[in-house]
Chains A and B, each alone.
Chain A
Amino acid sequence: MDITTPLDSQVIEKLKAGDQVSITGVIYTARDAAHKRLIEALDRGEELPLDLRGQTLYFMGPSPAKPGQVIGAAGPTTSGRMDSYSPRLMAVGLKGMIGKGSRSQEVKEAIKKHKAVYFAAIGGAGALIARTIKKAEVVAYEDLGAEAIMRLEVENFPATVVNDAHGGDLYQEGKAKYSK
């Protein structure tokens, strides 16, 4: 299924765990260090360096781009490290998350409550995914290096719906189907 960002609530409504999607539009990167700063900014009542409403965060820190490249290898990192931060960000409008690995019960409940969605990209497919990134620029926390927040323009970025807005969970459903 082809989808575009920012994510439309009607599109989110339709997405089901296990759906394979192809994402086109703008997404933003953020790993642990950037999440920590976003939350600290919220704690201080400051405005965030980017408006998260309707946006999608990609849990990713790329390898450096070679001369002439848009970005280096750009696969997802383990999402569980973002679990303590994600519900707060969904509360201020974050709609999509892309990473790899299972989320906490609290995150799954927040996904249902805020009508959001969690996608998995293929962990360890950094070279393949980099081809779908057409433009990349740092927009916040440049001092964090590979952990800075980048704005990415992506075309047909491949991902799979893991946690949908209705409580579906591909990791649980898939494992149950194939366990002996």
Chain B
Amino acid sequence: MREIDAKKVTETVARLFQEANFFLGDDVLDYLKQGVEREESPLGRQVLEQILENADIAAKERIPICQDTGFAVVYLELGQDVHIVGGDFYAAVEEGVRQGYSEGYLRKSIVRQPFSARVNTKDNTPAVIHTEVVGGEHLHITVLPKGGGSENMSRLVMLKPAEGRQGVIDFVVRAVEEAGSNPCPPVIVGVGVGGTSDKTVFLAKKALLRRVGEPNPDPEVAELEKEILERVNNTGVGPQGFGGRITALAVHAEVFPAHIASLPVAVNLQCHAARHKEAVL
């Protein structure tokens, strides 16, 4: 049994949310640079260059890449031989969100009672926390500050199993095409297939954590990702929806077994400010 202090959890969460909001990952930057080379539209190329310049300014000045510093989504992989001491585990995570958003001058974007008063909680809590218990004696923390503009373009459908592979592809391509300029393309397309309705939506978002463009290890799923990406980039939406070839940087699909009656498919779009950071304690 290994002990991890709750304070350490708080500090780490606070640091990760700031780093995620200031420093765009090398994988995203590489794909944006490749996009400049591949984009056919002059306006689209210029947009991609400005996005790269923006990332550079944000990193140098430690200011957020985007003013929408997101809903605080936290993935915790807790080793079964870890004992959290010195405080409540989830309270430590929430405190990390509170401190990170305050210290980093990040925007507090969460409102209580979404359907009526919509009063800001003023510290960007509560976080959305997903916990998985795994083997070992480490705690793996991943943070994903998720912007509202791209999140609003999420889609879920329960297809008929007869619709099969083509049904999955058509649904995902339509979701990206209909989202158009709203989710700040070029996007990363998170796709969940299988499971129950909630599971497939969970998978679609979790797929966004993968390094950009890294294919699913299952060749059949990797082939599906490739085909969806090609079709998405033929829609013509382009960077910022101004028209062009680079509508998406990558498609990441995660698959789970399904019920004999079901073929659930979910889409979770990630804007070009694909921010996530992780740490192992």
Known: A72-B67, A102-B180. A78 touches B149 (CB 8 A): yes
Cα distance A128–B68 when bound, in Å? 14
- Chain A residues with CB below 8 A from B182, complex form: 78, 80, 100-102
- Chain A residues with CB below 8 A from B122, complex form: 145
- Chain B residues with CB below 8 A from A11, complex form: none
B16 located at the interface, meaning its Cβ lies under 8 Å from any Cβ of chain A in the complex: no
Q: Spot the interface stretch: B56-64, B87-95, B256-264.
A: B56-64
- Chain A residues with CB below 8 A from B244, complex form: 174, 178
Contact residues, B151-191 vs A (CB, 8 A): 152, 180-182, 184
Chain A residue nearest to B237 (CB atoms) is A175
Instruction: Evaluate contact between A101 and B149: CB separation under 8 angstroms.
Output: yes
Report the count of interface residues on B (CB-CB < 8 A).
50
* Chain B min CB distance to A161 (Å): 11
Instruction: Evaluate contact between A73 and B67: CB separation under 8 angstroms.
Output: yes
Chain A residue nearest to B68 (CB atoms) is A77
Q: Spot the interface stretch: B43-51, B75-83, B213-221.
A: B43-51
Known: A123-B271, A125-B54, A126-B66. A178 touches B180 (CB 8 A): no
Instruction: Evaluate contact between B51 and A122: CB separation under 8 angstroms.
Output: yes
Cα distance A177–B120 when bound, in Å? 42
- Chain B residues in the interface with A (C-beta under 8 A): 40-41, 43, 46-47, 50-51, 53-55, 57-58, 61, 63-69, 105-109, 118, 120, 122, 147-149, 152, 180-182, 184, 234-238, 240-245, 271-273
Known contacts A175-B237, A178-B243; 16 further A-B pairs (Cβ under 8 A):
A63-B67, A72-B67, A73-B66, A74-B67, A77-B148, A78-B148, A100-B149, A100-B181, A122-B47, A126-B68, A127-B61, A128-B57, A174-B43, A176-B236, A178-B40, A179-B236
